[in-house]
Every structure is written in structure tokens, then in C-alpha cells.
Amino acid sequence: MNKAKRQAVIAGNWKMNKTPSEAKILLEEIIPVAKDAGCEVIACVPYVDLSVALDTVKGTNVKIGAENCHWAESGAFTGEISTGMLKEMGVEYVVIGHSERRQYFGETDETVNKRTKAALAAGLKPIVCVGELLWERECDITEEVIARQIKLDLYDVSAEDAKKTIIAYEPVWAIGTGKTATAEQAEEVCAFIRAELAKKYDEETAQAITIQYGGSMNDANAAELLSKENVDGGLIGGASLVAAKFGAIIDAATKG
């Protein structure tokens, strides 16, 4: 019942793939497969692709997101991009705290929290990624890990802002491995995330927040994952780079 009221969101996370000219070609393939979508469709692309991506999707239902942002408005932060820079371009969404940033680039819950608050303050919609490592799951501390990430990553984020935030549950062991969480595993953790959000905020706020699953979601497994009550969408890596596969996932989300 509540699922029907929430916005389903299918977002591609292109990671470090596609040059600007390649981005244009891929988006031109995505636009027709997304045009009848009954869900929000987003492509989160590398910074250097943002300009061409925004031009290419103009007048369509495909939205563009960035893959990160810094928390400061400006200053001596070589190599970083501010929320104001993204906002002025017309970017609407930004992925924050992806496990690859946590694993390879020293991202912590503290910096995820700062980036999330900065994105919200600038009027960007953050897609905040949480998820456990394989050994954390094996040690049976998945819920502890997720609860901690939700508390820290959304520290000092108001209920009103939390409703503008998408949470992406991405078990780290399922990313790029071809090893998808079963629909039951995905539902179990997404339901747990919603329960934590209800504890932190209230039931109404928790019910309004879109929770995505990410990790080897593809055209073959999307329908089952997306049929679950607490799985409101997907954050898709590899399969978002192939328009036909991404389109099939959009269709699965549209059918609910």
C-alpha cells in the first residue's frame, strides 16, 4: 500500500565510464527506452559528462545526477566539485557515500554526512549509499552496520530533508560481482532501513522515503527485487551502461 505512494526511482551510476561523446550516444539510446517510464529515471554520470548529458536529456523525462560533491561552498580543495557548481549546471541528484568511495577514497560516515547536508542545503537530492561488507554479513552484524550508517550519515538531517533523500542499500559483496542479494535479503535490509528511519524520525517520514537496492541488479532479476514492498527502486552500475538492459529495469519498475 505504502509502496504505491512512494516514488519509484531507477538510477544508473555510470561510475568511471563513458567519455562525453560516449555519454551522448548512450543517453540518446536511453531516452527512447525511458520515455514511457512510470518511475523517475536518473543517469548519474562522471563530472566531465554532466554538461553534454544535461543538454542531451533536455525536454525528456531523464534526469541527471553527479557521482559525488564536496561540502564546502568553495575554497582550496583541489580536484573537488561544490554543490553550487552542480546546481548551477542544472544537476538534480548526487550520489553520496558510494562504497567505492568509502573503500578506495577514504570516505567516512562523517564526510558522507557533511556531503549529504551540503547537497540538501543546495537543493540537490542526495542518493545516500549504505551497505555491509561480506565479512560483516558473515559475522551477522549487517543490521548493526546499517543502523550505524543511517544514524551517522543522516545526523542533523531534518525529517523534511530526509524526505528529499534517497537511501540506496548496496551490499558491498553484491557490487560488480554478479552476486545479487536475493529479493528476500534485499527486502529484509530495506525494511530494516525503513524501521530505523521510523525510529529516527517518525513512521510517516519513513514511509515517504524512497529506498533503492543496488548490487548486480539487471534486466533478469529486477522484476523480482522491485516487487518487494520496501524496495522502491534501483541504483544500477553495469546494467545502466546498456540501454536495452536499463530499459528493461525501467519497465520492471513501471510494472511495480
185 or 216: whose CB is closer to ligand 13P? 216
Smallest separation, CB 239 to ligand 13P (Å): 6
Which CB atom, from 175 or from 253, has the smaller least distance to ligand 13P? 175
Per-residue buried b or exposed e for 5-30, using 16+ beta carbons within 10 Å of the residue's own CB: eeebbbbbbbbebbeeeebbebbeeb
The question of whether 70 is a catalytic residue gets the answer: no
Q: Is residue 237 a contact point for ligand 13P (CB under 6 A)?
A: yes
The active-site residue, picked from 67, 100, 132, 170, is 170
Query: What stretches of 7-92 adopt beta strand conformation (E)?
Result: 9-13, 40-44, 62-66
Decide: is 233 part of the binding site for ligand 13P (CB under 6 A).
Answer: no
Rounded (5°) CA angle 82-110-99: 80
126 binds ligand 13P (CB under 6 A): no
Q: Catalytic residue at 132?
A: no
181 near ligand 13P, rule: CB under 6 A: no
Minimal distance, residue 160 CB to ligand 13P, in Å: 26
Using alpha carbons, list the distances in angstroms from residue 38 to 32, 213, 226.
Answer: 14, 18, 13
Q: Footprint of ligand 13P on residues 70-99 (CB under 6 A)?
A: 98
Of 115, 151, 114, nearest to 130 (Cα)? 151
Q: For residue 36, give the C-alpha cell.
A: 514511457
- Tell whether residue 10 is a contact of ligand 13P (CB under 6 A): no
| 235 part of the interface to ligand 13P, by CB under 6 A | yes
Q: 196 with 150: CB under 8 angstroms? A: yes
Q: Is 215 in the site for ligand 13P (CB under 6 A)?
A: yes
> What whole-number distance in Å separates Cα of residue 134 and Cα of residue 118?
30
Task: Exactly one of 40, 67, 70, 98 is catalytic; name it.
Answer: 98
Q: Strands 125-130, 9-13: parallel, antiparallel or unpaired by DSSP?
A: unpaired
Q: Which residues are catalytic?
A: 98, 170
Site for ligand 13P, rule CB under 6 A: 13, 98, 170, 175-176, 214-217, 235-239
